[in-house]
Copies of this chain bind each other. A is one copy, B any other.
Amino acid sequence: MALIVQKYGGTSVGNPERIKNVARRVAGYRAKGDQVVVVVSAMSGVTDNLIKLANEIMPLPTEREMDMLLATGEQTTIALTAMALHALGLPAVSLTGAQAGIVTDGVHTKAKIQNITPKQVHTLLDEGKVVIVAGFQGQTQEGHITTLGRGGSDLTAIALAAALKADLCQIYTDVDGVYTADPRIVPNAKKLEEISYDEMLELASLGAKVMQSRSVEFAKKFGVVFEVRSSLNENPGTIVKEETKNMEDVVIRGVALDKNQAKVTLVAVPDKPGVAAHIFKAIGEAAINVDMIVQNISHGSGTPATDLSFTIDKPDLLKARKVIDGLKMSVGFREAIADEKIGKLSIVGVGMRSHSGVAAKMFETLAKEGVNIDMISTSEIKISVVIDLAKGEQATRALHTAFIG
Interface set of A (CB-CB < 8 Å, partner B): 16, 19-20, 50, 53-54, 56-58, 61-62, 64-66, 68-69, 71-72, 75-76, 78-80, 82-84, 86-87, 93-94, 96, 99, 120, 143, 145
Contact = CB atoms under 8 A, between A and B. Distances in A.
Contact of A83 (B54, B80, B87, B120): B54
Q: How many copies of the chain does the oligomer comprise?
A: 2
B65 A86 contact: yes
A366 B53 CA distance: 54
Contacts of A99: 143
Given A76-B50, A79-B65, A86 B71 contact: no
B65 A83 contact: yes
A58 B19 CA distance: 11
Contact of A84 (B16, B20, B57, B79): B57
B86 A58 contact: yes
A69 B76 contact: yes
Given A72-B72, A72-B75, A75-B68, A80 B94 contact: no
Contacts of A87: 57-58
Contacts of A93: 64
A68 B57 contact: no
Contacts of A66: 79
Contacts of A86: 58, 61-62, 65
B64 A80 contact: no
A96 to B, nearest CB: 8
A83 B71 contact: no
A404 to B, nearest CB: 44
A54 to B, nearest CB: 6
21 contacts: A16-B57, A50-B76, A54-B79, A57-B83, A58-B84, A58-B86, A61-B83, A62-B83, A64-B93, A65-B80, A65-B83, A68-B75, A68-B78, A68-B82, A68-B96, A69-B80, A72-B72, A72-B75, A72-B76, A96-B145, A99-B143
Contact of A79 (B56, B68, B79, B80): B68
Given A16-B57, A57-B19, A57-B20, A65 B82 contact: yes
A71 B80 CA distance: 13
Contacts of A69: 75-76, 79-80
Nearest to A72: B72
- The residue among A50, A57, A64 with the most chain B CB atoms within 10 A of its own CB is A57
Nearest to A99: B143
Nearest to A70: B79
A53 B82 CA distance: 13
A127 to B, nearest CB: 13
Contacts of A58: 83-84, 86-87
Nearest to A80: B57
Given A20-B57, A53-B16, A57-B84, A71 B62 contact: no
A124 to B, nearest CB: 11
B53 A65 contact: no
A16 B57 CA distance: 6
A56 B61 CA distance: 33
Contacts of A57: 16, 19-20, 80, 83-84, 87
A69 B65 CA distance: 19
